[in-house]
Amino acid sequence: MRYTKYVVLVLVILSLSVPVVLAQDGGEGLTIGFSQIGSESAWRTAFTNAVQAEAAARGINLLFSDAQQEQENQIAAINAWIAQGDVDAIILAPVVTTGWDEVLMEAKDAGIPVVIVDRNVDADPSLYVTRVSSDFVHEGRLAAAWLVQATSGQCNIVELYGTVGSAAAEDRATGFREVIALFPGMQIIRSQTGNFVRTEGKQVMQSFLSAEDPANICAVWAHNDDMAIGAIEAIKEAGLAPGKDILIVSVDAIPDIFDALDAGETNATVELSPYMGGPAFDAVVATLNGEELPKWIPVGGKLYTSRAAYEADRK
């Protein structure tokens, strides 16, 4: 095939996984505020549960705040923790990238270290300790590299975009576009936000299928599995076979996506590890002990096309 040698090169490069930081014991007796984005997806809920379980195992008093996907709720929670003076540190999973400098400066002035988890902020790096996250750009590149190989570099793609302004959406979009730009036959013909929500993913996919001749859509690139599952429902309701008539690749590796893989209704998912609590708590303990940390602590993930491969990696 015309693109084979280029695809192989891309896949070899992208198969190099980013480093994984393993959790260590520590933090007993600390009180830590955790501002979570919300519960917009199955992955987000798994992430929350994993952080809470890790805190309980370490003897950390975790003050949890659900922002319900509103930045102002996160800022209010952080301001309350600062005013009350009852937290040793704050862990922030930010809804969006911008608008954090003021509240982070207030935390710094109060002597409360902040660790960013999952999504990113564009604030002055001196205002937070570190960020613990996956490499979202890498995830987008992995998804694109798989799709290039699966389609021999010829594919009209519709994109289910994540929350606009979030680091996860912006970086996954960037990584995906970097790879498909190398192949003239790969193009995104429609892109619209589904806000990482399953019902919105279905609605957006329905609009794509109404606006385009379905035969002109080669694949769906969804920024998370929940939107992909919504797209699967829309494709089936349109009388088409998801995973066959229209290929699907997404990010998260939640349990439901493996059910869809088993049924042949989707094709690939890139793992986004929910186990960031351990490295985040390690970072808190380290900074309270006066240690210097890098500004980014990456947590790795791989692309999977079957449940068997995923479960083999868990053994």
Q: In total, how many domains does the chain have?
A: 2
Question: Is residue 26 a part of any domain in this protein?
Answer: yes
Neighbours of 226 (CB within 10 A): 29
pTM, to two decimals: 0.80
Query: pLDDT value at position 227?
Result: 98
* Residues 117, 66 share a domain: yes
* Residues 93, 65 share a domain: yes
Question: Is residue 175 a part of any domain in this protein?
Answer: yes
* Residues 145, 123 share a domain: no
* Residues 254, 149 share a domain: yes
* Residues 118, 174 share a domain: no
CA atoms within 13 A on the CB side of 286: 16
Question: Is residue 212 a part of any domain in this protein?
Answer: yes
Distance in angstroms (rounded) separating the CA atoms of residues 87 and 47: 21
Distance in angstroms (rounded) separating the CA atoms of residues 33 and 61: 9
Question: Is residue 311 a part of any domain in this protein?
Answer: no
* Residues 247, 194 share a domain: yes
Strands (E), 224-305: 247-252, 268-271, 296-298, 303-304
Distance in angstroms (rounded) separating the CA atoms of residues 303 and 309: 10
Question: Is residue 95 a part of any domain in this protein?
Answer: yes
* Residues 183, 121 share a domain: no
* Residues 267, 278 share a domain: no
* Residues 115, 9 share a domain: no
Question: Is residue 313 a part of any domain in this protein?
Answer: no
Please give the backbone phi and psi of residue 18, each rounded to the nearest 5 degrees, phi first.
-75, 160
CATH at 9? 3.40.50.2300
Question: Is residue 312 a part of any domain in this protein?
Answer: no
* Residues 143, 8 share a domain: yes
* Residues 158, 117 share a domain: no
CA atoms within 13 A on the CB side of 243: 19
Sign of CA dihedral 258, 206, 172, 273: negative
* Residues 116, 145 share a domain: no
Query: pLDDT value at position 20?
Result: 39
Per-residue pLDDT in tens (0 to 9) along the chain, 315 residues: 444 444 444 544 444 444 434 344 588 999 999 999 998 888 999 999 999 999 999 999 999 999 999 999 999 999 999 999 999 999 999 999 999 999 999 999 999 999 999 989 999 999 999 999 999 999 999 999 999 999 999 999 999 999 999 989 999 999 999 999 999 999 999 999 999 999 999 999 999 999 999 999 999 999 999 999 999 999 999 999 999 999 999 999 999 999 999 999 999 999 998 899 999 999 999 999 999 999 999 987 899 999 999 999 877
Query: pLDDT value at position 25?
Result: 56
Question: Is residue 307 a part of any domain in this protein?
Answer: no
Neighbours of 116 (CB within 10 A): 28
Range of the domain at 55: 18-134+274-299
